């Protein structure tokens, strides 16, 4: 049985004042049948972890370096995220792939280090609009999965987020059939590579313009175990609407 997961990605948004949103969420969800994860900017991670301490929420990072430590100015190691209170890290988000030229190999190396440190790796995959229009979506997703998911993946340490690039922050969402097709494909690929036991235990998130108003129908799609949410995770009220939809799914 896969535990459903609502994950929020705050990206480069939020200073100390934003912790009030986490206080509100923590008060609303002292416990929950679903896992609730917020990935704030690294500057807030330690305080965010203290804020959610006695609640049903946990916190995670948005990236980590592939090395354990060393001369990498401005970067953060998986161990540092763990030390600041994180239990998960988002890797290979399309904004990292685009802004920082991250390739599948880089993401696989980061995921290995994150998993070795005891973090859950949320590995993002997704196609551009051009790739979808050229009917290349499944090829692209398959290639990203082979390239960026390390061999040591299990249902405990890996979560895959399907995030069509053209749906992120745009208000555009694929049809439910399109989401289902990709999620079924990801599940089949995981089962083929890791065996049925592991393949069936990895959680698959959909990400891209999930809002309280469309969450319930997305969560009803087969092999959707939750969501990775950007914009609608910044306000407790919006994210609550998504958490409630997941609790009722």
CB of 8 to ligand PEP, least distance (A): 9
CB of 42 to ligand PEP, least distance (A): 16
Please name the helix (run of DSSP H) or strand (run of DSSP E) that holds residue 38, with its range, or none: strand 35-39
Q: In this complex, which beta carbon is closest to ligand PEP, that of residue 149 or of residue 167?
A: 167
Q: What are the distances in angstroms from CA 175 to CA 17, 167, 208, 243?
A: 36, 11, 12, 21
**Dist CA 214 CA 194 (whole Å):** 32
89 is a contact residue toward ligand PEP (CB under 6 A):
no
Catalytic residue among 35, 102, 163, 183: 163
Q: In this complex, which beta carbon is closest to ligand PEP, that of residue 47 or of residue 235?
A: 235
Judge whether 163 counts as a catalytic residue: yes
End-to-end CA distance of the chain: 14
**Chain position whose Cβ is nearest to ligand PEP:** 230
Q: In this complex, which beta carbon is closest to ligand PEP, that of residue 191 or of residue 240?
A: 240
Residue 208: both structure tokens together: 């891209």
Of residues 208-237, which lie at the interface with ligand PEP (CB under 6 A)?
208-210, 228-232
**Dist CA 234 CA 44 (whole Å):** 13
Q: In this complex, which beta carbon is closest to ligand PEP, that of residue 115 or of residue 229?
A: 229
CB of 191 to ligand PEP, least distance (A): 25
CA dihedral 102, 67, 38, 94 (to 10 degrees): 0
* Class of residue 48 by CB neighbours under 10 A (exposed 0-12, middle 13-18, buried 19+): buried
Is residue 208 a contact partner of residue 167, using CB atoms and an 8 Å limit? yes
How many residues are recorded in the chain? 249
Binding residue count for ligand PEP, defined by CB under 6 A: 13
Q: In this complex, which beta carbon is closest to ligand PEP, that of residue 226 or of residue 231?
A: 231
9 is a contact residue toward ligand PEP (CB under 6 A):
yes
122 is a contact residue toward ligand PEP (CB under 6 A):
no
Site string for ligand PEP, 169-208 (x = CB under 6 A): x-------------------------------------xx
Q: Indicate the pairing of strand 203-207 with strand 226-229.
A: parallel
**Dist CA 113 CA 67 (whole Å):** 7
Please name the helix (run of DSSP H) or strand (run of DSSP E) that holds residue 206, with its range, or none: strand 203-207
CB of 98 to ligand PEP, least distance (A): 12
Residues with active-site annotation: 93, 163
Task: List residues binding ligand PEP (CB under 6 A).
Answer: 9, 163, 168-169, 207-210, 228-232
């Amino acid at each position: 049985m896969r535990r459903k997961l609502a994950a929020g990605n705050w990206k480069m948004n939020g200073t100390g004042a934003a912790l009030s949103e986490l206080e509100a969420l923590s008060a609303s969800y002292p416990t929950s049948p679903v896992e609730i994860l917020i990935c704030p900017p690294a500057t807030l991670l330690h305080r965010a972890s203290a804020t959610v301490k006695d609640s049903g929420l946990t916190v995670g990072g948005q990236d980590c370096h592939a090395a354990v430590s060393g001369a990498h100015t401005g970067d953060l190691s998986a161990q540092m995220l763990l030390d600041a209170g994180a239990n998960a890290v988002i890797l290979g988000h399309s904004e990292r792939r685009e802004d920082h030229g991250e390739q599948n190999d880089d993401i696989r190396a980061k995921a290995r280090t994150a998993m070795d440190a005891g973090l859950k790796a949320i590995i993002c995959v997704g196609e551009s609009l051009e790739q979808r229009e050229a009917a290349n979506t499944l090829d692209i997703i398959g290639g990203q999965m082979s390239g960026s998911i390390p061999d040591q993946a299990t249902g405990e340490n890996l979560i895959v987020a399907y995030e069509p690039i053209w749906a992120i922050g745009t208000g555009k969402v694929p049809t439910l059939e399109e989401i289902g097709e990709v999620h079924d494909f990801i599940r089949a690929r995981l089962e083929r590579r890791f065996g049925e036991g592991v393949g069936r235990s990895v959680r698959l998130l959909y990400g891209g313009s999930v809002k309280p108003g469309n969450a319930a129908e997305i969560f009803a799609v087969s092999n959707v175990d939750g969501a990775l949410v950007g914009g609608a995770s910044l306000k407790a009220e919006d994210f609550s609407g998504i958490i409630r939809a997941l609790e009722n799914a």
